[in-house]
Structure 1
Amino acid sequence: MTLKRVLLKPITLCVLLGLSSSAFANVVINIPSEVDVLAANGQEAEIEGGLFSSTKSLTLPDGENQIVFRYNPVFKQGNDQTTVTTDAIITKFTASDTELNFDLPKYRNADLARDFDRNPNWKLVDENGNTIEVKQDKLLKPGVQLGRNYDQESVAYNKTGGVAAIAPATAAVATTATVEASAAAPQMPANSQYKTTEEQMLHYWYEKADKETKQRFLQSIIQAK
């Protein structure tokens, strides 16, 4: 069986992106349900896992990264639930080839949780239990908070040189390796057999994969028919 005449399907592109991500990006942040990651490296955060998924994560390249997040703990009060929405935190850190988890304070009730804005005592912990050094600040905006553009706000923050600011070169790195994968693929000549860049990338990464990955890839296409 060959891949040359297989039609591109959504699952095909998902596998392609998975291959490119694993090839380039080596820092994975697991995101608990009470955390909203709002931006990463001056761009919209590309969260893996659906809205109602029990497991969500963000894949970033090795080195210095910046994320914007908000802590939203939920508390039961009788038959009702109360969600405490904190200020947006902008933070930078440096890590490579690791999996990170949020270590967040545990509050007994909503009133106590509101202290997070005054004392944002949280950590990023790697897979070995080591605390990653972070620099953090508030990403504040006066007035109405609806419809905020956190990626643009973080870019503007970086220009101020704040404690959690990153250099423009760092901010230009994609939150996943999709852009890098596109650049790595050979340029498509005018008379190419491929109809789109996505199709070309699919063939490119297929040839890069090992035998077992190719077999799983082809099986996923067969099952999708």
Structure 2
Amino acid sequence: MVGPHQLVFRVEKTIHLSNSEERLYISPPLVVSFNTQLINQVNFRLPRLENEREANHFDAAPRLELLDGDATPIPVKLDILAITSTAKTIDYEVEVERYNKSAKRASLPQFATMMADDSTLLSGVSELDAIPPQSQVLTEQRLKYWFKLADPQTRNTFLQWAPEKQPSS
């Protein structure tokens, strides 16, 4: 899919300790943002993570490369996703939305509005004379909301498509 992308992931790898033992290394959650304009394949290249020193270095300053199918680097923004929740299970969707609203290195503010808050959509006065069923008002307001967020090309495509799809009375 073409356009901006954002992934949250952890790196898990068995590393060697100095006493010839091994342990499972698990990185903090990382958020990576990138754009796939004219790209059809994305490959991750992580730095070497074989021992405690390399794992500690990765924790302090995580890095990775994204490469397309021709091994050409893809520009990437990488950050640690600081978890604020104290719950036993982490709701990554909530954490990423919070992160995207914070204007951090890898945040994508346009992704923070993916789940529109219905209370703000319903707070406006409807321009319709008759009061339609609540679901109809909500649907119309959501359409207007997403239409305003769309780029001009997407708006034009929608305006060409909509008249063709009018429901039969």
Cα deviation code 1:115-135 (max 9, x no counterpart): 211121211111100111111
Cα deviation code 1:23-46 (max 9, x no counterpart): xxxxxxxxxxxxxxxxxxxxxxxx
Alignment RMSD (CA, Å): 3.3
Task: Give the aligned partner of residue 86 of structure 1.
Answer: 27
Task: Give the aligned partner of residue 11 of structure 2.
Answer: 71
Task: Give the aligned partner of residue 72 of structure 2.
Answer: 130
The number of residue pairs the alignment matches comes to 118
Question: Is the CA contact (8 Å cut-off) linking 1:102 and 1:122 kept in structure 2?
Answer: yes
Q: What SS does the aligned partner of 2:10 have?
A: strand
Asked whether 1:156 is paired with 2:98, we answer: yes
The alpha-carbon distance between structure 1 residues 170 and 126, as it changes in their structure 2 partners (threshold 3 A), is farther
Listed as ranges, the gaps of 5+ residues in structure 1 are 1-60, 174-183, 191-225
Matches within 5 A, 1:174-213: none
Q: Larger strand proportion, structure 1 or 2?
A: 1
Q: Which has the larger radius of gyration?
A: 2
1:75 is aligned with what amino acid? I
Task: Give the aligned partner of residue 120 of structure 1.
Answer: 62
Q: What SS does the aligned partner of 1:112 have?
A: helix
- Seq. identity, %: 25
Cα deviation code 1:149-186 (max 9, x no counterpart): 1111111111112221113358639xxxxxxxxxx9x9
* TM-score, normalised by the number of residues in structure 2: 0.57
Work out the CA distance in 2 between the residues paired with 1:130 and 1:105. 17
